[in-house]
Amino acid sequence: MSFQRIVVSDDFSVSTQVEIADIDALADAGVKSLICNRPDGEGSDQPTVRELRDAAEAKGIEVFYLPVVSGKISKSDVADFAAALEKMSAPVHAFCRTGTRSLTLWSLDQREKGVSTEQLLAKASALGYDLQQALGVPAADSKAASADHFDILIVGGGAAGISVASSLMARTQDLSIAIVDPAEVHYYQPGWTMVGGGIFRQEDTVKTMASLIPEGVRWIKAAVGEFEPENNRVLLEDRHPINYDRLIVAPGLKLNWHGVEGLVETLGRNGVTSNYRYDLAPYTWKLVSGLRRGRAVFTQPPMPIKCAGAPQKAMYLSGDHWKRSGVLKDVDIAFYNAGAVLFGVKEYVPALMEYVELYGADLNFGHRLTRIDGESRTAWFERKDEDGNASEVSTAFDMIHVCPPQTAPDFVRQSPLADDAGWVDVDQNTLRHKRYENIWSLGDVMNAPNAKTAAAARMQAPIVANNLLNDLGSARGISHYNGYGSCPLTVERGKIVLAEFGYGGKLLPSFPSWLINGQRPSRMAWFLKEKILPPVYWKAMLRGHEWMVNPERSPADSADV
């Protein structure tokens, strides 16, 4: 993960994601200006541009935010980039997730200024980038003619992507399979609630991607920018094509930090935190363990979100800490939820309400966080009454835990694979795309109405693997997804209300009620979350062992397919 500045000219350089720790190296190299070409929230560990700006400005580096969408760089993006280069002091350094978008913008501007395409391609190639597609070189002249081709291509190497690759490899070794993912590391996100509660160590929730890609599966370390389902191919950010016979789409979802005005300006300071980011979960614990009195606010955006219980889990673990340290009476806890209920499956609500009362939390439903000002420690909400009339209310806070609004990633929303809301449009039973027969999807990105959780992905991976292989004629029968998802609600340190349910809120407990009664706080469920589920994730789910998975099967039947 070492930072590498790629020098393009005397005045310009590019790189992959810049971290706070890299600012010193940029300053030492004499960089005067920094351009950020990826949107905030594209990855769950990226510092926001505001955080980078703080660190950069302290070193005298000016920062400009010009996010562009992979594969969709417009003329006005290039003009804005050129104007920024003109205005900013040189040398300028630009970055995005891989550096491709930044180098593409620069190259397109250079071409406007008269540099030939051949020269720009040669330069990019010498720097390790292939910009043929990005610069619009006709397919016949480019690598497209000899593009990579795989029997199965998987977009995204997160909980869903690695699991389904392993499930495929557990069933057959005869197919060429590739995973496309630009990330150096893979996160165990369910652990972040525990990091924010002071229970897990942050470093135990991350491993290198290289260590998790299953043997025999090729890792293409790049980001997909566009889907071309009619041509059975995807285009990488540099527009390099990858062809496939069958595609599995699993790039997760986008955390829309910019969906709350002022949030990126204050996230990570002024008492504003979120367990939804790897680097901020420890800040949650710092705030919680440091608070002796005052007002603590926890927010939940409109559905769908990943791990719908995580916003309130943060509240319960915090309340438990304040109770144990004897300061609960001096801490005023408030939960602001854009939705109308505490939890979507009513059977779990009574147990949760006992903890709401125990911690004296004030519940506010129909309140959507719209604006936040860290300096004055104030948050504003849009409140909707029963008739749908909206008004604005505000509250002060000493600390606030924000769960950001969430959408499908931009490159999915703008693709032919999306439904009207932007999510990948699948049959909720087979997880096969509704319009493209050779495409399946799983994990947070698709539109089946299940709880978006790693537990759901654990169940979905063997189903997708089986159904895809059935389509190839090498598996018998179709597996059916019943919508299983699980949310271990950490109501206190040592006890969990283990919500497990499927489509329509049907309860789907994994254990007999004498062992774990999901509707009651349980020590055994805590033991499961703390000691059992992490190894189940790293050693079973991501390795294709398929523990705690038992999908329904029906015999091979073309009507099912």
Q: Which lies closer to ligand FAD via its Cβ, residue 254 or residue 321?
A: 254
Q: Does 189 bind ligand FAD (CB under 6 A)?
A: yes
Q: Give the residue closest to ligand FAD by C-beta.
A: 158
- The amino acid at 487: C
Structural contact between residues 318 and 355, judged by C-beta atoms closer than 8 angstroms: no
- β-pair partners for 176: none
Question: Least distance to ligand FAD from the beta carbon of 43, Å?
Answer: 6
Q: Which lies closer to ligand FAD via its Cβ, residue 43 or residue 91?
A: 43
Q: Sign of dihedral through CA atoms 539, 544, 550, 551?
A: positive
Structural contact between residues 509 and 515, judged by C-beta atoms closer than 8 angstroms: no
- Of 36, 96, 307, 403, the active-site residue reads 307
**DSSP-derived 3-state class of residue 166:** helix
Q: Does 46 bind ligand FAD (CB under 6 A)?
A: no
Structural contact between residues 129 and 100, judged by C-beta atoms closer than 8 angstroms: yes
**Segment near ligand FAD (CB under 6 A); pick from 134-142, 259-267, 451-459, 503-511:** 451-459
d(CA 149, CA 298): 47
Q: Which lies closer to ligand FAD via its Cβ, residue 64 or residue 129?
A: 129
DSSP conformation class of 445: G
Question: Least distance to ligand FAD from the beta carbon of 251, Å?
Answer: 4
As a whole number of Å, the end-to-end CA separation of the chain is 43
Question: Least distance to ligand FAD from the beta carbon of 131, Å?
Answer: 18
Which positions from 427 through 446 interact with ligand FAD, judged by CB under 6 A?
443-445
Question: Least distance to ligand FAD from the beta carbon of 237, Å?
Answer: 7
**Options 66, 250, 263, 468; binder of ligand FAD; rule CB under 6 A:** 250
Count, residues near ligand FAD per rule CB under 6 A: 38
Q: Which lies closer to ligand FAD via its Cβ, residue 192 or residue 285?
A: 192
Instruction: Locate 443 and state its tokens.
Output: 């994990």
- Of 36, 96, 403, 487, the active-site residue reads 487
d(CA 173, CA 183): 25
Q: Does 100 bind ligand FAD (CB under 6 A)?
A: no
Candidates 64, 246, 25; CA nearest to 149 is: 246
Q: Does 516 bind ligand FAD (CB under 6 A)?
A: no
Q: Does 241 bind ligand FAD (CB under 6 A)?
A: no
**Segment near ligand FAD (CB under 6 A); pick from 111-119, 190-198, 316-324, 415-423:** 190-198
Q: Does 223 bind ligand FAD (CB under 6 A)?
A: yes
Determine how many CB atoms are found less than 10 A away from the CB of residue 360.
15
Our answer to whether residue 487 is catalytic in this structure is yes
Q: Which lies closer to ligand FAD via its Cβ, residue 220 or residue 372?
A: 220
Q: Does 301 bind ligand FAD (CB under 6 A)?
A: no
Going by C-beta distance under 8 Å and a sequence separation of 6 or more, which residues neighbour residue 234?
153, 155, 180, 224, 226, 227, 228, 241, 242, 244, 247
d(CA 13, CA 91): 8
φ, ψ for residue 322, nearest 5 deg: -65, -35
Site pattern 403..422 for ligand FAD (x: CB under 6 A) = ------x-x-----------
DSSP states of 202-248: GGGGEEESTTTSPTTPEEE-S-EEEEEGGGTEEEETT--EEEEEEEE
Q: Does 352 bind ligand FAD (CB under 6 A)?
A: no
d(CA 435, CA 449): 18
d(CA 431, CA 248): 10
Question: Least distance to ligand FAD from the beta carbon of 181, Å?
Answer: 4
Question: Least distance to ligand FAD from the beta carbon of 385, Å?
Answer: 30
Determine how many CB atoms are found less than 10 A away from the CB of residue 16.
20
Angle at which helix 349-358 crosses helix 310-324, to 10 degrees, equals: 40
Which positions from 519 through 548 interact with ligand FAD, judged by CB under 6 A?
none
**Options 46, 453, 479, 482; binder of ligand FAD; rule CB under 6 A:** 453
Q: Which residue is it, tokens 């390790």?
A: 128
Structural contact between residues 342 and 352, judged by C-beta atoms closer than 8 angstroms: yes
d(CA 14, CA 18): 10
- The amino acid at 59: K
**Options 455, 459, 464, 498; binder of ligand FAD; rule CB under 6 A:** 455
Q: Does 284 bind ligand FAD (CB under 6 A)?
A: no
Q: Does 183 bind ligand FAD (CB under 6 A)?
A: yes
Our answer to whether residue 36 is catalytic in this structure is no
Which positions from 479 through 508 interact with ligand FAD, judged by CB under 6 A?
486, 488
Q: Which lies closer to ligand FAD via its Cβ, residue 300 or residue 479?
A: 300
Q: Which lies closer to ligand FAD via its Cβ, residue 123 or residue 254?
A: 254
Site pattern 136..165 for ligand FAD (x: CB under 6 A) = -------------------xxxxxxx----
**Options 275, 312, 429, 470; binder of ligand FAD; rule CB under 6 A:** 275
Question: Least distance to ligand FAD from the beta carbon of 82, Å?
Answer: 26
Q: Does 464 bind ligand FAD (CB under 6 A)?
A: no
CA distances from 548 to 346, 511, 518 (A): 24, 10, 16
Dihedral of the CA atoms 236, 239, 243, 249 (nearest 10)?
A: 30
Q: Does 278 bind ligand FAD (CB under 6 A)?
A: no
- The amino acid at 140: A
Q: Does 167 bind ligand FAD (CB under 6 A)?
A: no
Binding interface with ligand FAD (CB under 6 A): 43, 155-161, 180-183, 189-190, 192-193, 223-224, 250-252, 275-276, 306-307, 310, 409, 411, 443-445, 452-455, 457, 486, 488
Catalytic residues: 307, 487
